[in-house]
Every structure is written in structure tokens, then in C-alpha cells.
């Protein structure tokens, strides 16, 4: 399924950029973690275009398993896409929609950045950097 999705992205990359939604990302942040530990990515995604778009896939040049997540009945679940309604902002945040990172090959140190490619169902690809921040769990453990 991922192969088909990637093929569609390549084919649509040749379309004029005027067909793409106007996507803007703010406050991309990722929790610090040691290599191999899970982490999470949060951000605000603004769709200022006239069409709904879906975040379909997230990739990185850093080796890791990256999964779109949501919550249902208080439990995290994998989702196949994140809908971004036209003229709205979608918050990826704790307890809601977010991006999980598993099996990362390197330490994620506070102050560093983590490179991401956001692939949307309309073929648009956005390159961003998520700033690595200290997780609330680590702050709590440090204080105790």
C-alpha cells in the first residue's frame, strides 16, 4: 500500500503547484529521547486553500518508523491519514492527533532538529524540521 501511495505522489509531483492546497506548518516539536525509545511529534497545520487535504505519510532522512496516530476511547491508534479541512488549522497535540516515532537510530537531544517530509494526498510534499524539546515526562522525573 505504501508503494502505491509513493507512486501516486511521484506522478502528481508533475502537476502545476496551483492545484495544491496552501499548507503552512507552525511549532513543529518532537520530544527528546534516547536511540530506540519512542517519541512523538506535534505541530499546527494550517490549510488556507479551498480544498480539504489529508496528511497521508511522514518520512525522514533519519532511520525510524514514523506512524500517524490518533486517540480513540483514551487509547492511541494508528490512522491512515489526518484530514486537514479547507480554511482551518489542525493541531497535532498530546491526547489527540499526533505523529509517533519508533526505533529511531540516534539520540534525540534537546535543541537539535529532526528532518521531516510531510506527504499529502494531493501530491504536495513539504520539508520541515521539528525542534526537539524536553518531554513533560522527563521534566516530572527530573523534579521528583
Q: Is the pTM of this model over 0.85?
A: no
pLDDT of residue 139: 45
Question: How high is the pLDDT of residue 135?
Answer: 79
The pLDDT, as a whole number, for residue 72 is 87
Which tens digits make up the pLDDT trace of 47-84? 999 999 999 999 999 999 999 999 888 899 999 999 99
Look at residue 7 and tell me whether its pLDDT is greater than 80.
no
CA-based nearest residue to 58, from 36, 75, 46, 41:
41
The conformation of residue 73, written as its DSSP 8-state character, comes to: T
SS3 115: strand
The span from the CA of 128 to the CA of 55, in Å, is 14
* Per-residue pLDDT band at 140 (split at 50, 70, 90): very low
pLDDT in tens, 89-139: 999 999 999 999 999 999 999 999 999 999 999 889 999 999 999 976 554
Amino acid at each position: 500500500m505504501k508503494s502505491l501511495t509513493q507512486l501516486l505522489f511521484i506522478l502528481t509531483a508533475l502537476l502545476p503547484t496551483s492545484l495544491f492546497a496552501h499548507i503552512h506548518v507552525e511549532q513543529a516539536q518532537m520530544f527528546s529521547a534516547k536511540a530506540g525509545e519512542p517519541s512523538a511529534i506535534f505541530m499546527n497545520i494550517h490549510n488556507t486553500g479551498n480544498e480539504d487535504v489529508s496528511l497521508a505519510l511522514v518520512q525522514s532522512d533519519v532511520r525510524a518508523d514514523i506512524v500517524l496516530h490518533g486517540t480513540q476511547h483514551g487509547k492511541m491508534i494508528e490512522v491512515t491519514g489526518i484530514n486537514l479541512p479547507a480554511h482551518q488549522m489542525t493541531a497535532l497535540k498530546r491526547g489527540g492527533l499526533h505523529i509517533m516515532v519508533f526505533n529511531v537510530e540516534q539520540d534525540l537531544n534537546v535543541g537539535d532538529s529532526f528532518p521531516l517530509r510531510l506527504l499529502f494526498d494531493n501530491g504536495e510534499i513539504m520539508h520541515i524540521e521539528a525542534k526537539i524539546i524536553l518531554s513533560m515526562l522527563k521534566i516530572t522525573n527530573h523534579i521528583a
